[in-house]
Amino acid sequence: MSVSQLRRTSSRDGARDPPSARRDKRPSSHTLGLVKQFLEFIIRQLVEFPDEMMLSEIPSGKTTIFRVQLRQTDVGRIIGRNGQTIQAIRALLASSAARHGLRATLEIVE
């Protein structure tokens, strides 16, 4: 292999994408749907009345805000003792969203 061929090969291997290819793309609805399904599954397992749970998503810039509406008795179950359960759910949500290149937060509406 000649020196010029080595240079071309090494520049291709270590080359970065052009700036236009690196731009943050809007998350697809499929990806957001997967995160929403995951969150819905977690919450439905914890509440006493899963059929009365309503989960909505609100795009807010780079972040998606998920709002969950529950019965008053189920709100306590989701928050948990000293807020430990809601902290764990929010951590799982953030991790799941980050895995898909998204940001997400969770709000509880009574």
Query: Could you tell me if 35 and 101 are in contact, meaning their C-beta atoms sit under 8 angstroms apart?
Result: no
What does pTM read for this prediction?
0.73
CA-to-CA distance for 99 and 94, rounded, in angstroms?
9
Instruction: Evaluate if residue 20 carries a pLDDT over 90.
Output: no
pLDDT at 110: 79
Q: What is the pLDDT of residues 48-78, one digit of tens each?
A: 999 999 999 999 888 999 999 999 999 999 9
Amino acid identity for residue 46 in this structure: L
Q: Name all domains of the chain by residue range, CATH numbers in brackets.
A: 25-109 (3.30.300.20)
pLDDT at 81: 94
DSSP state, 23? Answer: S
- Helix runs in 1-110, H state only: 3-14, 19-22, 29-46, 72-79, 84-99
